[in-house]
Amino acid sequence: MSDDTVTEIGWSSADLESRREHWSLPLTDTDRRLLRADSRAGRWDRAEEVRRTLGGFVRDSIRSVGFAHVRNLIDPATSEDDAVTGLSFVLGEFGQIVVQNAQGDLTQVLRDRDGDGAAELGFHCDTCDLLVLLCLQPAVRGGGLTKLASARHVHDLIGRERPDVLATLQEDWTFDRTGRAGEQVVVSPILFTQPDTTVGCYYQTRTVRTSPERGGPPLSARQWEALAVLDEVLYRPEIAFGLAMAAGDLLIIRNSRVLHGRSPYIDEPGPNSRRMLRVWMNTEVL
């Protein structure tokens, strides 16, 4: 049973690999079919037990490690429209779906755009409580892993190795997001202590570096060094965990606890192209 006694865990990539039961839940085909039937009906009925198990697992995982992975949530053969319907039904347990871009989209299918999948997507945090990713199709040739890093582990490691850099990262930074959904200019520390005593993070590698060009305060030599140290730490193998998601897998990330990115991949046109359904959520439940 989920409760408020679940405590924060700072983790390395090796920790996650060896303790998957803490963050990854497999659903059976029977569970998946029950969820699909209830989502089509628009009410919880046959899948009530699955609902309790899934809800408790997601809450506990997000409170402890900062994210939750659910395998086999959606049938890989499901159409994109049905996947959106089924996912939205399940997510109703956890919060409110919010607009994620300037066009007002509540859902977006991420795919290769003119070969940009071949470039690695750096670690960052989205500007919402929860980032939700549903894998519709993984990259057929491999790659495209979702990369995860624990804010607590990064905080503690930098604190041991470079306390001066940690102090700089705990100062206010300006992130100019003009033209994007949500707050246009965010002023926040990159690493900080949250009211519940967990270590929080807010980082967008591009906007923090380009904000001075848009009228934000200039970055000092000390700040540029802090960003370089942060990026070096994030890309250490023991920090960055690469999660391979199969079609139908769900990932829910607490943005204030876990930084995420994506490894590069080479895509193929047509039905084998990599597609990831993205949803942003705000919540007071998790």
pLDDT number for residue 286? 79
Calculate the CA 215 to chain-centre distance.
29
Contacts for 164 with CB less than 8 Å, ≥ 6 apart: none
| Residue 278 CA: distances (Å) to CA of 167, 172, 230, 251 | 34, 29, 26, 10
* Percentage with pLDDT > 70 across the chain: 98
Contacts for 236 with CB less than 8 Å, ≥ 6 apart: none
Q: Where are the beta strands (DSSP E) in the chain?
A: 24-26, 67-71, 96-98, 107-111, 121-124, 130-137, 146-150, 173-176, 185-188, 191-193, 199-201, 241-243, 250-254, 258-262, 275-282
pLDDT number for residue 15? 96
Confidence class for position 2, pLDDT limits 50, 70, 90: very low
Contacts for 49 with CB less than 8 Å, ≥ 6 apart: none
Q: What is the mean pLDDT of the chain?
A: 94
Q: Give me the half-sphere count of Cα atoms (radius 13 Å) on the Cβ side of residue 116.
A: 8
pLDDT number for residue 1? 37
Tokens read off for 126: 């989205």
Tokens read off for 251: 């990932």
pLDDT number for residue 181? 81
pTM passes above 0.75: yes
Mean pLDDT within 260-269: 93
